[in-house]
């Protein structure tokens, strides 16, 4: 099973510091720059790979998520390499399920961290949620369905372009890991698009979970 390795692309170890990663990126970007390698298709592909790797590893939080994704895939690979039954092959649902869970958990943590720095925002969100709950059932309580209904609106006020870009980068990495985890399964464009949509949905679900957790931490019944 081929495992996507952005560390190898940047020619650094998985223990490299952020500064070492930045230096390696600058060196490779200069070495394979199109102006220095006109007409060299190999250099064109290399610079694309280098840029993609740095988009993920250059951001500490994205790097943590990437490391967790790789760790999960290595565990799946090791488990199946030890199996002796030839009929026991890697299940696409196992690979996708593991990756979805990792993305969802990372997104949950990201949103929870962000909201814990915006306590006034949480209070204003709880006021809106409380009003909707009382309108719906006549008394105040922490109603999950109402909170989740507000979550997409609230998240829309918090998610930045950088957060969207980070999500997109990690989803692309996850799609590649699904492809390498189950060879031949994502050969068709429609299958890739479907998996990408599912993984994007898992990430957004994590944001909603983080939003809900933050609101629940500050909720006080009146």
How buried is 162 (Cβ within 10 angstroms: 0-12 exposed, 13-18 middle, 19+ buried)?
A: exposed
Whether 84 has a pLDDT exceeding 70, the answer reads no
In degrees, to the nearest 5, what angle opens at C-alpha 131 toward C-alphas 127 and 133?
Answer: 115
Quote the CA–CA distance of 122 and 137 in Å, as a whole number. 22
How confident is the model over 120-142, as pLDDT tens digits?
999 999 999 999 999 999 999 99
pLDDT digits (tens, 9 = 90+) for 96-116: 888 899 999 999 999 999 999
Q: What does the alpha-carbon distance between residue 146 and residue 128 come to, in Å, rounded to a whole number?
A: 10
Average pLDDT over residues 9-26: 94
Q: What is the mean pLDDT of residues 144-170?
A: 93
pLDDT at 155: 96
pLDDT tens string 35-79? 787 777 777 888 888 988 898 899 888 888 888 887 765 454 444
Burial class (CB in 10 A: 0-12, 13-18, 19+), 220: exposed
CB of 207 within 8 A of CB of 155? Answer: yes
| pTM for the full predicted model | 0.75
Does the pLDDT value for residue 180 go beyond 80? no
Residue 181 has what pLDDT? Answer: 66
């Amino acid at each position: 099973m081929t495992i996507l390795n952005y560390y190898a692309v940047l020619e650094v170890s998985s223990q490299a510091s952020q500064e070492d990663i930045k230096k390696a990126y600058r060196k490779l970007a200069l070495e394979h720059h199109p102006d220095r390698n006109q007409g060299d298709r190999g250099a064109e592909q290399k610079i694309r790979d280098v840029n993609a790797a740095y988009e993920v590893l250059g951001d500490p939080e994205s790097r943590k998520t990437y490391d967790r994704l790789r760790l999960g895939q290595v565990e799946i690979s090791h488990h199946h390499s030890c199996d002796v039954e030839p009929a026991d092959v890697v299940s696409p649902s196992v690979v996708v399920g593991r990756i979805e869970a990792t993305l969802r958990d990372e997104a949950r943590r990201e949103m929870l961290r962000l909201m814990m720095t915006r306590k006034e925002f949480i209070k204003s969100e709880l006021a809106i949620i409380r009003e909707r709950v009382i309108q719906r059932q006549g008394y105040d309580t922490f109603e999950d369905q109402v909170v989740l209904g507000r979550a997409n609106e609230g998240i829309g006020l918090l998610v930045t372009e950088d957060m969207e870009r980070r999500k997109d980068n990690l989803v692309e990495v996850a799609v590649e890991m699904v492809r390498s985890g189950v060879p031949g399964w994502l050969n068709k464009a429609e299958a890739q698009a479907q998996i990408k949509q599912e993984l994007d949905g898992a990430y957004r679900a994590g944001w909603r979970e983080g939003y809900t957790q933050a609101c629940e931490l500050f909720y006080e019944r009146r």
